Amino acid sequence: MVATKGRPAVWENLPHSLVHRSLSLRRRFLPPHLQQRPLLNSLLQERLCRQLAATLRPSAYSIGSYNKVFACEWLNNDTVLLATKCNNLLRLNLLNSAVTRVPLLGMPGRSPGLPNLPVVINDGGLHALETNGPATFLATGALADGDLGVYELPDLRPYALLHGAHADWVFDAAWLDAATLVSVARDSSMAIWSLPEANFSTGVDPDGFAVTSPRYVRKVRDFQDQSARLRSVDIGKCGNLAVLSLNSFLQFYSIERLDTPVATIHLGSSESSFAKETVCVRASPEPHCFYSCCVDHVTLYDSRTGLASDSIESKDRLSGVRSLACNGPVVSYGTGIGNVYFYDVRSHRHLTRHLGLCKAALPGDQQQQARQHQLFRDHNYLHGSQPEYAIYSHKYDADCARIFTAGGPLATTHWGNVAVLHS
């Protein structure tokens, strides 16, 4: 295990200090009516967003032989949660590198009054990992393919099992408010859930958590009226909802009316690169706008018109864009070969610095462990093939001063993981 050495407070505040020093020289030249704290805070924040990547240094963590980290989420300043393809929810302590498993929620039998959907043990991994706005609940996958588990924060106490909407892998989820969740799945279903009150009036599992059914379920269809494999969902600043499918279309909904989309965008024909590997949609800081990714582009769409207002060509063309995150005027994207790039949407250019993966930053024992595991599972290593490591998820901390990147081998036949803190 590789421990992350504690750093003094001055180091943790270094990005802020550098930006503040740079701008403080200009403050006295501003007119008096502009020397107000909101303006300076805005300038500082935007400057920090643009300069952050240049100040970050990687610290890699060995998390064992778990396969492919599909999602990560900050629990607090010292702890990150990881969701893996091998169906494990992990808690990683950044101070001492300790990794502990969090039990997944499941329902061994049927609960009265709930839909009689088949319970299939999850073999697709945990893709969704989302904390609500007040940081009181965490939603992720469960033991069964189509279920979600909700945990109470900060102690990760099991709170509710969401069951009865999906019959296939749950690919993504987003919180509409502190107690309402939307989820999408590979079987084309989109569901709205309301968390039960603490008295668990919906029904209680013997383990002490609520078992609840969806408030609303909709089967989403594509342009040919075929089932859409829904891949990603996010909620915008104005309360509008974006749903992205693997069938290469993007739909926008109003929360007040989910039966009909406000706008639908066909991202392209099957031959177009814009229609390939559409795996992530994320809300932009700009109202009504969303970023959608494909194999070689990140595109900004306006949900009111359905039109693209900006298109960013990936620096790692054809490797696939696997994750997205926004920080002020900067959108970052993780690629299939282990890089995270930063793009300034106001100046329409990539920032000079980027985060490189970490195959170089992987702890030696993890490289050896992954190699030995792979020799057992995949004959490709016998022919000298080395896997590409993808960034499946990257998240800013609460202060937007650190970034945690996580992922694993891009090829489905390869086994391994990567987890790196950039601070």
Say what the pLDDT of residue 422 is.
94
* SS3 track for the chain: CCCCCCCCHHHHCHHHHHHHHHHHHHHCCCCHHHCCHHHHHHHHHHHHHHHHHHHCCEEECCCCCCCCEEEEEEEECCEEEEEECCCCEEEEECCCCCEEEECCCCCCCCCCCCCCCCCCECCCCCCCEEECCCCCEEEEECCECCCEEEEECCCCEEEEEECCCCCCCEEEEEEEECCEEEEEECCCEEEEEECCCCCCCCCECCCCCEEECCCEEEECECCCCCECCEEEEEECCCCEEEEEECCCEEEEEECCECCCCCEEEECCCCCCHHHCCCCCEEECCCCCEEEEECCCEEEEEECCCCCEEEEEECCCCCCCEEEEEEECCEEEEEECCCCEEEEECCCCEECCCCECCCCCCCCHHHHHHHHHHHHHHCHHHHHCCCCCEEEEEEEECCCCCCEEEEEEECCCCCCCCEEEEEC
Say what the pLDDT of residue 343 is.
95
**Domains defined for the chain, CATH in brackets:** 38-108+120-197+204-381 (2.130.10.10)
Say what the pLDDT of residue 27 is.
44
Instruction: Flag whether the pTM goes above 0.95.
Output: no
Residues of the chain falling short of pLDDT 50? 1-12, 19-30, 34-35, 39-40, 110-113, 201, 358-361, 363-384
Say what the pLDDT of residue 270 is.
66
